[in-house]
Chains A and B, each alone.
Chain A
């Protein structure tokens, strides 16, 4: 094993290879690696952000749902109230109407009765006079005895 000029040749080739590696191998490959690292980091960031946004959206959906549920409940309650109110009102109206009709009918009946009584009285007076005439056989002067007859009739 002897040393010779090969060592110089090796030093020169080594220098050239290191230079070529510095120039054509190392920069593009490390650049590609760094670029990919950046892309992956960005991708992870984006995924994180998307997850956060999704959670936010779910939150707001939840809130909106709750709000609309509450609103619906209020509306239903109001409607129920209104319906019972309407029913109450209708009942009241009907009651009033019924009372009114009853009163009117009672008045009518009273009036009829009164007029029937009047007519009856008048007829009774006449009948009494006629009966008395027949009994006494004499004519009773209607005009003279009118006061008496009327008193009689009023007592009937």
Chain B
């Protein structure tokens, strides 16, 4: 915990993104407080979330494609073995849940799983290290866990949502998709009611995907921040067990996000 701050200031500081945007008074600039971030509205971007998430995604692509280039069919060693394990794990999941032909779904499931996992993994970096380093370099705000930013989780889940709509229309045609939205569960005489129900169901998919991941990671991060408020000699009593437990949560959340994406896209392909 940095000196010269109250606990609430410390928590608020740790939960504020490094945001660049168009402020009504200051123009295009970095926000200097949470209040300014709110004033900027939609015309702003969370630089820390973007840098960390894109960096982690690039790391994922770099690592996996490097292994893919040098992959041998003989006895795999070290990194290749580990990565093949992940690939097989994802492939098994996709094959068991998604029974249609698609060149996109499996690579997308892999991307979601590894990318979300890596973003969640940043939660295990002690909460003060990188923000403190950034502070020494003159950067006031630094949230290093992209999945605690609702924009990030929403970004992925709405991409999935677009694909749900795209594949629904591709598999059933616009008419079929509309019929599915409006003619069930109660038949054509309750069309408005059906439409309302099905639209809520449809929208709930991406929203729940995003909020589930965001909520878990935000809460986990919050607990790490609260633990960081304890005296330094007492922190490990709580932070070590929580970190160990959190390893399960970050893996589980990445897995859930991937599985639900596969399930939703399989449902989009299926005729009801």
Q: Interface on A for B, CB 8 Å cutoff? A: 1-11, 13-15, 17-18, 20-22, 24-33, 35-36, 39
Contacts and interface: CB of A to CB of B under 8 A. Distances in A.
Interface residues of B, number: 51
Given A4-B41, A6-B45, A24 B53 contact: no
A25 B64 contact: yes
A41 to B, nearest CB: 12
Interface string B106-139: 1110110001000000000000000000000000
Contact of B61 (A15, A20, A27, A29): A20
A5 B45 contact: yes
Given A11-B158, A13-B57, A3 B151 contact: yes
B1 interface: no
Interface of B: 17, 19, 21, 37-38, 40-46, 49-50, 53-54, 57, 60-61, 64-65, 67-69, 71-74, 76, 83-84, 87-88, 91, 103-104, 106-108, 110-111, 115, 149-152, 154-156, 158-159
A5 to B, nearest CB: 5
Q: Which of A3, A6, A9, A18 has the most CB of B within 10 A?
A: A6
Contacts of A17: 57, 60-61, 111, 115
Given A2-B37, A10-B155, A24-B61, A18 B73 contact: no
A2 B31 CA distance: 13
A28 B38 contact: no
Contact of A26 (B37, B53, B107): B107
